[in-house]
Amino acid sequence: MPMRKIWVVIRREFLERVRNKWFIITTILGPVLLGLMVILPALLLSRSAGTTHVVVLDATTAEFGRRVTDKLESSPRMEPQYLATGIVNLESVADSLAGEVGDEAIDGFLIVTDATITDGRAEYRGSNVSSQVDMSVMQRYVQEAALAERLVRRGIDPTIVADANMRLRFRTVNIRGGKVTDQSGESVFVLAYFMWIVLYVTLAVYGAQVAGAVVEEKSSRVIEVLASSLRPFQLLAGKVVGVGAVGLFQVTIWAMFARVLIDQQATILGLFGIEVQGDGGFRLPEVPLDSIAVLMVYFVLGFFLYSTMFAAVGAMSSSESEMRQAQQPVLFLFVIPAMLSFGVLTDPNGTLATVLTLVPLSAPVAMPMRWGVAAVPLGELALSVLILILTSIAVTWVAARIYRVGILMYGKRPSPRELLRWIRTA
Amino acid sequence: MPAASVVTVSSITKRYAGHTAVRELSLTVPAGTIYGLLGPNGAGKTTTIRMIMDITVPDEGSVTLFDESGTGRDFSSRIGYLPEERGLYKKMKVLDLLVFLAETKGVTRSHAKREATQWLERLGLGDWTLKKVNDLSKGMQQKVQFISTVLHRPDLLILDEPFSGFDPVNTQLMKNEVVELANAGTTVLFSTHIMEQAEKLCSSVCIIARGEKVVDGQLADIKSNHGGRHVIVAVADGLQRVERVLSDRTLVQNSDNYGQYAELELVESADPQQLLQNLVQTGAQITRFEIAEPTLNKIFIDLVGAGAIRPEALGENAHA
């Protein structure tokens, strides 16, 4: 009988939320945004508008600018143009080029002089100086050209110089638990980041919704009718599980959409007339089953930990606006550990990472991230889960007592001392 | 066979930080009656009802329902409770809401659906079944609230200030429904601070003030215990003509001049006939002379006094 009543509360909470038009909108909008994230960069890259028009203004005596222009031509991003000038009228030429930048005929111009070779100095003036990619590409090519020029001037064979300038292709492979995986450094980061986003967003959004659900029942005064036939615990449990189920449901839908989008990205991009080159496009890192299991366990435990706190916040507020204020401390308790959890990535088996995965406030986010990138000793996992469960039980116990008294209280928000009395007397 | 008493409250006390809301209150609601819990605002009516419902727990004393062990929630399928603080889920559809509330009381889904539809038809809300609560007028929402209280055919109805906050049309409608349910055997316990309503509806009452019981029992008994000395006088050309007789303290202990008529309370040993003679002697044209039962309102004011409305009563909702 008590279970049946909890089930009634869960079902109402779930159905009312899932039928809500905002739920439907965000559920659909999520994949659309994700799709745009895949399509837009590809779209931008594939357009010729994406290339940078640069004039190489050569004021050297040895036509060094030609070498730079050749180098830049090898980059698909760059459309270089060579323009020689004497050092004497360099500034007047530069002035007229600045006018062309103003007319958007070119993006900018690169000035190379003899000092580029002797002192390693070059200058770029343009409208795209804030583009990290453009600047680093040009810097690298000028550097390589200057190096080659210097070596040639010392009489070294140009073919040797070309050999010496060979570009490095750096591959990273993650080792987890002593085993070499097929994960690259990039995909490990993407995976951890993905887990962080999922946990952070769902815990924050759905935790706060529990507070909203509680305060809604209070402000609409439906709570007293409910309290006459349901135990506070049944109400609280029903709320937390119902809202949590909605969260899981939405994330599952998104995950399925993401899978389809990423698997089919070539087809989808094709619809937009974009062709994906061999290794181009975004690739979903392979998520091992154990990582998913850990993610689920910590999501559920973390959700209980935070949503019961949010429920207590809802119970001690009389209106939505009051609740927003009252939930600030809980949000801090959540946001700060979640931010710190990024520290796990720099040294997954360091002291910081170990502490973060044991402290119950950060563990729900930190442990799945750490598990994804490194081999966590099973003992540590068990300890972390145990601490989290015990904390969740303790927090739920306290929150249930605040909830029990708070749902029938209207008027001013309780002081910390009053809260303590609620917890003791409930 | 219904139990002899449906609600038995034994000496319950509830204290809050600053004051005692209810002190050693006992009352018995016999089966099949309409029972009024009366008192001024802040007397402790809502606190008492919440303790009966086990929404708040008494510090001392106990509540027995249906002569069985168990709390209000255990009997939620047999009790219809209309709290003073009323509200509905604004965004739910009317039918879904009624079915949900019935389910929390242990009614099965299909049965709740059938009953809800019938009630909505009956109260003229048949076209609104699939509308959201928010789209309904205030009066319609009140009807829905009332349906949610009686949908599961409770044996006991507990209504906290049922007639305040409802519009006159719904008040009348609800009164009729309550009387009909009572005639069909439902026990009704309701609280009010409006004595005229209690007088019309209740067969038994309990009057409380400052958290304590003042008097309880059958309304007829209470009236006869406090009656016999009440006289109503009306004079065709105005009560001023008989002012001297009405203020004769050897006969009249107390007089309430309502303008058109006066309600008098005679001193204990006085003979009403003597009063009538004195009135006739004034030469005034007497249109009404009636030895009356006191109104419940009069008894209430006599027993409780105007001072019963205590200042901290204003904070009742914050604590109750």
Q: Which residues contact A28 (CB under 8 A, 6 or more apart)?
A: none
Report the candidate in A205, A195, A206 with the shortest Cα–Cα distance to residue A344: A195
The CATH topology of domain B228-292 is Alpha-Beta Plaits (3.30.70)
Burial of A290 (0-12, 13-18, 19+ CB in 10 A): exposed
Are A229 and B55 a contacting pair at CB < 8 A? Answer: no
Angle at B79 between CA B77 and CA B85, to 5 degrees: 115
State the average pLDDT over residues A274-285: 54
State the average pLDDT over residues A169-191: 71
Cα A375 off chain centre by: 22
What are the boundaries of each domain within chain A? 2-42+184-425, 50-164
Going from the C-alpha of B271 to that of each of A126, B224, B230, B294, B298, the distances in angstroms are: 115, 17, 11, 17, 21
Q: Where are the alpha helices (DSSP H) in A180-327?
A: 185-219, 223-229, 232-263, 265-271, 289-315, 320-326
pLDDT band per the 50, 70, 90 thresholds, residue B5: confident
Residue B34 has pLDDT above 90, yes or no: yes
Cα A150 off chain centre by: 44
CA distance A408 to chain B (A): 8
pLDDT band per the 50, 70, 90 thresholds, residue B1: very low
- Each as own residue / partner, the long-range contacts of residues B112-115 (CB below 8 Å, 24 or more positions apart, any chain) are B112/B151, B112/B152, B115/B151, B115/B152, B115/B153
- With contacts defined as CB-CB under 8 Å, which chain B residues touch A212? none
Gap between the Cα atoms of B12 and A250, Å rounded: 49
> What DSSP designation does B264 have?
E
Gap between the Cα atoms of B62 and B96, Å rounded: 36
When the pLDDT of each residue in chain B is averaged and rounded to a whole number, the result is 85
Q: B49 or A264: whose pLDDT is higher? A: B49
- With contacts defined as CB-CB under 8 Å, which chain B residues touch A410? 317-318
Are A16 and B103 a contacting pair at CB < 8 A? Answer: no
Q: Which residues contact B44 (CB under 8 A, 6 or more apart)?
A: B14, B21, B22, B25, B208, B210, B211, B320
Q: A37 or A20: whose pLDDT is higher? A: A20
State the average pLDDT over residues B90-102: 94
pLDDT at A259: 75
Are A224 and B317 a contacting pair at CB < 8 A? Answer: no
Are B55 and A408 a contacting pair at CB < 8 A? Answer: yes
Q: Which residues contact A49 (CB under 8 A, 6 or more apart)?
A: none
Say if strands B230-235 and B286-292 run parallel, antiparallel, or are unpaired. antiparallel
Cα A242 off chain centre by: 27
State the average pLDDT over residues B84-92: 89
Residue B320 has pLDDT above 70, yes or no: no
Other C-beta atoms lying within 10 Å of the C-beta of residue A296 = 12
Are A225 and B56 a contacting pair at CB < 8 A? Answer: no
Q: Which position has the token pair 């998104």? A: A254
Q: Which residues contact A110 (CB under 8 A, 6 or more apart)?
A: A54, A55, A56, A57, A68, A122, A123, A124, A138, A142
pLDDT at A187: 67
Please check whether the domain covering B5-223 is classified as CATH 3.40.50.300: yes
Which region among A294-303, A343-352, B90-99, B301-310 has the lowest average model confidence (pLDDT)? Answer: B301-310
> What DSSP designation does A91 have?
H
Residue A345 corresponds to which tokens in the numbers above? 């990535």
Task: Name B80's bridge partners.
Answer: B157
Residue B203 has pLDDT above 50, yes or no: yes
Residue B319 has pLDDT above 50, yes or no: no
Q: State the amino acid at position A397 in one-letter form.
A: W
Q: Which residues contact A318 (CB under 8 A, 6 or more apart)?
A: A215, A218, A219, A409, A410, A411, A413
pLDDT at B8: 92
Q: State the amino acid at position B159 in one-letter form.
A: L
Q: Are B265 and B252 in contact (CB under 8 A)?
A: yes
Report the candidate in A188, A198, A199, A194 with the shortest Cα–Cα distance to residue A375: A188
Q: Where are the alpha helices (DSSP H) in B127-271?
A: 138-150, 168-183, 195-201, 219-225, 243-246
Other C-beta atoms lying within 10 Å of the C-beta of residue B64 = 17
pLDDT band per the 50, 70, 90 thresholds, residue A44: low
pLDDT band per the 50, 70, 90 thresholds, residue A35: confident
pLDDT at A9: 93
Q: Are B7 and B75 in contact (CB under 8 A)?
A: no
Are B100 and A8 a contacting pair at CB < 8 A? Answer: yes
Residue A280 has pLDDT above 70, yes or no: no
Gap between the Cα atoms of A9 and A11, Å rounded: 5
Residue B317 has pLDDT above 70, yes or no: no
Query: A214-262: per-residue pLDDT in tens?
Result: 888 888 888 889 988 888 888 888 999 999 899 888 888 887 887 777 7
Query: A88-108: per-residue pLDDT in tens?
Result: 888 888 888 898 888 888 889
The H or E element that residue A10 is part of is helix A2-19
Residue A26 has pLDDT above 80, yes or no: yes
Gap between the Cα atoms of B89 and B112, Å rounded: 17
pLDDT band per the 50, 70, 90 thresholds, residue B316: very low
pLDDT band per the 50, 70, 90 thresholds, residue B79: very high
Which residues does B contribute to its contact with A (CB < 8 Å)?
Answer: 50, 53, 55-56, 72-73, 76, 79, 81, 83, 85-92, 96, 100-101, 103-106, 148, 317-318
CA dihedral defined by A243, B105, B147, B89, rounded to 10 degrees?
Answer: -10
Residue A237 corresponds to which tokens in the numbers above? 């449990």
Q: Which residues contact B274 (CB under 8 A, 6 or more apart)?
A: B251
Residue B276 has pLDDT above 80, yes or no: yes
Q: A27-41, A250-264, B173-187, B211-225: which has the highest mean pLDDT?
A: B173-187
Residue B93 has pLDDT above 60, yes or no: yes
Q: Are A149 and A117 in contact (CB under 8 A)?
A: yes
pLDDT at B2: 46
Gap between the Cα atoms of A244 and A247, Å rounded: 5
Q: A244 or A283: whose pLDDT is higher? A: A244
Residue A167 has pLDDT above 80, yes or no: no
Phi, psi of A380 (to 5 degrees): -65, -40
Chain B residue with CA closest to A5: the answer is B104
Q: Which residues contact A132 (CB under 8 A, 6 or more apart)?
A: none
Residue A1 has pLDDT above 70, yes or no: no
Are A228 and B72 a contacting pair at CB < 8 A? Answer: yes
pLDDT at A116: 86
pLDDT band per the 50, 70, 90 thresholds, residue A286: low
pLDDT at A276: 56
Say if strands A122-126 and A179-180 run parallel, antiparallel, or are unpaired. unpaired
Query: A372-411: per-residue pLDDT in tens?
Result: 778 888 899 999 999 999 998 888 888 888 888 888 777 6
What are the boundaries of each domain within chain B? 5-223, 228-292
Residue B158 has pLDDT above 90, yes or no: yes
Which region among A350-354, B8-12, B300-304 has the lowest average model confidence (pLDDT)? Answer: B300-304
Which region among A310-319, A381-390, B289-298 has the lowest average model confidence (pLDDT)? Answer: B289-298
Say if strands A108-112 and B79-82 run parallel, antiparallel, or are unpaired. unpaired
- Interface ipTM: 0.77
Report the candidate in B150, B124, B153 with the shortest Cα–Cα distance to residue B137: B124
CA distance A412 to chain B (A): 9
Other C-beta atoms lying within 10 Å of the C-beta of residue B223 = 19
Phi, psi of B151 (to 5 degrees): -50, -40
pLDDT band per the 50, 70, 90 thresholds, residue B63: very high
Q: A156 or B315: whose pLDDT is higher? A: A156
Say if strands B156-160 and B187-192 run parallel, antiparallel, or are unpaired. parallel
pLDDT band per the 50, 70, 90 thresholds, residue B135: very high
User: Which of B86, B92, B104 lies at the smallest CB-CB distance from A8?
Assistant: B104
pLDDT at B311: 42
- With contacts defined as CB-CB under 8 Å, which chain B residues touch A20? 91
Q: Are A65 and A117 in contact (CB under 8 A)?
A: no
In a 3-state reduction of DSSP, which class is residue B192?
strand
Q: Write down how long chain B is.
A: 320
Residue B81 has pLDDT above 90, yes or no: yes
Q: Are A43 and A272 in contact (CB under 8 A)?
A: yes
State the average pLDDT over residues B141-168: 89
Report the candidate in B251, B83, B74 with the shortest Cα–Cα distance to residue B161: B83
When the pLDDT of each residue in chain A is averaged and rounded to a whole number, the result is 82
Which residues does A contribute to its contact with B (CB < 8 Å)?
Answer: 1, 4-5, 8-9, 12, 16, 20, 216-217, 220-231, 408-411
Residue A321 has pLDDT above 80, yes or no: yes
pLDDT at A274: 62
pLDDT band per the 50, 70, 90 thresholds, residue A45: low
pLDDT at A185: 65
Query: A116-153: per-residue pLDDT in tens?
Result: 888 888 999 998 888 877 888 888 889 888 888 888 88
% residues pLDDT > 70 (chain A): 88
In a 3-state reduction of DSSP, which class is residue A109?
strand
CATH number among 3.90.1150.10, 3.40.50.300, 3.40.50.410, 3.40.190.10, domain A50-164: 3.40.190.10
pLDDT band per the 50, 70, 90 thresholds, residue B318: very low
Query: B185-201: per-residue pLDDT in tens?
Result: 999 999 998 888 888 88
Q: Where are the alpha helices (DSSP H) in A77-184?
A: 90-102, 114-118, 132-153, 158-164
Q: Are B146 and B82 in contact (CB under 8 A)?
A: yes
pLDDT at B285: 87
Chain A residue with CA closest to B53: the answer is A228
pLDDT band per the 50, 70, 90 thresholds, residue B26: very high
% residues pLDDT > 70 (chain B): 94
Gap between the Cα atoms of A102 and A80, Å rounded: 18
Residue A48 has pLDDT above 80, yes or no: no
User: Which of A1, A221, A229 lies at the smallest CB-CB distance from B86?
Assistant: A221
Q: A423 or B75: whose pLDDT is higher? A: B75
Q: Which position has the token pair 């040009």? A: A138
pLDDT band per the 50, 70, 90 thresholds, residue A346: confident
Q: Are B128 and B142 in contact (CB under 8 A)?
A: no
Are A16 and B92 a contacting pair at CB < 8 A? Answer: yes
